[in-house]
Amino acid sequence: MQSITRYGTIVVVFHAVIVALHSLAHEKIPVSLSWFQSLFVSSIVVLAPIVATILLWTPFQKAGSWLLLGSMTGALLFGVYYHLIAVSPDQIFQIPLTGWGILFDITAILLVFVEGLGCGVGVWAWKTLQQKEQVL
């Protein structure tokens, strides 16, 4: 299933670039994270999509599709909550729209879209692999 590996890889690469830029803005503003937030970001937002992509290139594509869906869903919910809902230093409405704040806000919004797309790719990949199993 070349399409699955291709689209999964593309969405994870875009996600990683946006996460890196958003992390840079976090560092420069600075907006610090709690230990829980740091652990979540490190494991679910950064590491899990990379592992999912690796799995998509192996015979374990179904596990990769599940991990892609799970990590992107977790990242999306985390980002929407902390960037848009919770009133905290991490909320985009608390960051001045100047300097690094522009990058912070733009990347926070881009993450919503790319993580939503990642969820879609994860569902599509899983359904495609599920149908392939039923045919065999």
Q: 5-64: per-residue pLDDT in tens?
A: 999 999 999 999 999 999 999 999 999 999 999 999 999 999 999 999 999 999 999 999
pLDDT band at residue 71 under the 50/70/90 scheme = very high
Q: Is the CB of residue 106 less than 8 Å from the CB of residue 83?
A: no
Q: 81-120: per-residue pLDDT in tens?
A: 999 999 999 999 999 999 999 999 999 999 999 999 999 9
Domain parsing of the chain, residue ranges? 2-135
Whole-model pTM? 0.94
CA distance 121 to 4: 8
Instruction: Compute CA distances 80 → 30, 52, 55, 73, 77, whole Å.
Output: 20, 22, 27, 11, 5
Q: Other C-beta atoms within 10 Å of 63: how many?
A: 16
